[in-house]
Amino acid sequence: MRHFSVLPAVAAALCAVLVGAAPAQAAAIPGFPAPKIFGTTFQSDPGHDFSKGISSRRDGILRGWITHVSAGEAEYEPIRWVKGGKTEGRFTGPPEGDVTAYRSPVAKNVVFLSVTGCSRGAAAPTVNGKGLGTERCSRKELLSRAAKSERPSLITVYRGKIVKVQEIYTP
């Protein structure tokens, strides 16, 4: 009977570990305020010195797109919505010659939320009511797609790494 008296203590310790682990994992990425999805101005990065070469953006969410991928790092730039044309509008990056660009490693556990699904053959867009991607795909899929084309997204940077990329649906 003595060995059964240890079970409540082990169960209590296990519960404490599990309960203690959940908040730490949930708090891994702070809830940064999101920019306006179809904002018509480029987001600034106060204090960032672009004359010192390309480096990571400060922590937060950037409306942007990835322009280059190499060795697990991504270069990205801010984008803005330009109204009009043959459609309702389009996203555009900084003008030619503008040095407003960043480079950060892509986290191994990056959250990539796609608007077209992971197999690229989704019959309908996988988006929420705001037009943001909802289907979680792999880091490998994110890097593969980013290397092929610029995809409007909300890019979350935390501690110098890209930790989340959520695509913006543009019909």
Q: Mean pLDDT, to the nearest integer, of 115-143?
A: 88
Domain boundaries, given as residue ranges, for the chain: 51-167
- Give whole-number Cα distances, 161 to 41, 62, 87, 103, in Å: 24, 13, 34, 9
Query: What's the CA gap between 111 and 58, in Å, rounded?
Result: 18
Cα–chain-centroid distance for residue 53? Answer: 22
Work out the mean pLDDT of the chain and round it to a whole number.
83
Instruction: Report yes or no: 132 and 170 within 8 Å, Cβ to Cβ.
Output: no
Position 141 pLDDT exceeds 70: yes
Query: What's the CA gap between 74 and 108, in Å, rounded?
Result: 13
Q: Mean pLDDT, to the nearest integer, of 24-45?
A: 82
Predicted TM-score (pTM) of the model is 0.81
pLDDT tens string 48-87: 888 888 899 999 999 999 999 999 999 999 999 999 877 7
- pLDDT reported for residue 23: 37
> What dihedral angle (degrees, nearest 10) is formed by the CA atoms of 73, 75, 81, 84?
-110
Instruction: Report yes or no: 44 and 57 within 8 Å, Cβ to Cβ.
Output: no
- pLDDT reported for residue 120: 61
